[in-house]
Every structure is written in structure tokens, then in C-alpha cells.
Amino acid sequence: MKKLFLLIIISLITGCSGIILEPADFSWPIESVMETNDKGFIQDSRYSFSVNVKPLFFAERNDSSSFKKESVRVIRGTKGYYYMIASGFKNVYLFNVDNGQMLVKDVIFVSEFGVDLPAFNQRNPYVELLEGESTLLFLNSDGIKGKE
């Protein structure tokens, strides 16, 4: 009986402690290119992902209606951060998820004139930012990591 009681106590104590599952890789293998809808949302059913991007376009262009008929490129890095960019953007926006919101972790400057043909590739441990066929930057949650 004492052994059973001791086993129950140990189970309760260890059951209440935090569980850590590691290592974990949250990366998406390829970027998602999502069209904005009339309300400013992008959605990807493959990843069950949906978010309002109007504030992102306002931050980048100072125009609350500039999201219309635009595509947003999104990729998720190994640590779970979301990288976003759209054609004409001067910055890559790095987001973290917290309590049902996407919060800006970092804004990474890319080009004074904006990027015309941006694309992301997963190049673990980095996210590669391309302009057409050319690599511009290698990024991670700490910012820019230069060309390999």
C-alpha cells in the first residue's frame, strides 16, 4: 500500500512539471504565396493559417487600402517565426505568435527601393530571401546572416 501511495505521489509531482519536447523544427519546406481578400486577410488551408495583413501594408506603404490584389509571401523558420514580404516592400517582417496574435519581433531592412520579385526558400538553419533568381540575404530569428 505504501508503494502504491508513493507511486501516486511521484506521478502527481512529475505530471505537474513542464514537459519539453525537443528538438523541434517548425519550418515550412517552401513559402506560401497568398492573395489578400477584400477584407485584407490571407489564408493558407494547407497550414490552417489565416491573418489580417492590412496593418502590415499600412506599416510598409502608409496606405490602408494598398493591400488590394496583392500577394504576400510567408514562410516559417525552424524556430517558429513567420517571415513575410510582398512585392515592393523594403523590409522583411518577422513575426512571433502570442495569444492569438502575430507580433512583430523584427523588421529587417532589405532595399531602399523595395523588392520587385521576392521569394523565400528554406535553407536550414536560415530562410533565404531571393530577388528573382538572385539571393539577397540569409535570415534567421536574429536578423541577417549574410550570404553563404
- 138, pLDDT greater than 60: yes
Written as one string, the DSSP assignment of 65-91 is: TTTTT-EEEEEE-TTS-EEEEETT-SE
Residue-wise pLDDT tens digits, 36-81: 999 999 999 988 899 999 999 999 999 988 999 899 999 999 999 9
- 29, pLDDT greater than 80: yes
Domain ranges of the chain: 20-144
Residues 6+ apart with CB under 8 A from 112: 90
pTM of the entire predicted model: 0.84
> Rounded CA gap, 3 and 6, in Å?
5
Which grid coordinates belong to 16?
505537474
- The residue assigned the cell 515592393 is 88
Under the banding of pLDDT at 50, 70 and 90, the label for residue 8 is low
* pLDDT score for 10: 54
In this structure, the chain runs to a length of 148
pLDDT exceeding 70 applies to what percent of the chain? 86
* pLDDT score for 11: 55
Residue 120: CB atoms within 10 A of its CB come to 24
Closest C-alpha to 76, from 22, 31, 12: 31
Residue-wise pLDDT tens digits, 107-134: 999 999 999 999 999 998 999 999 999 9
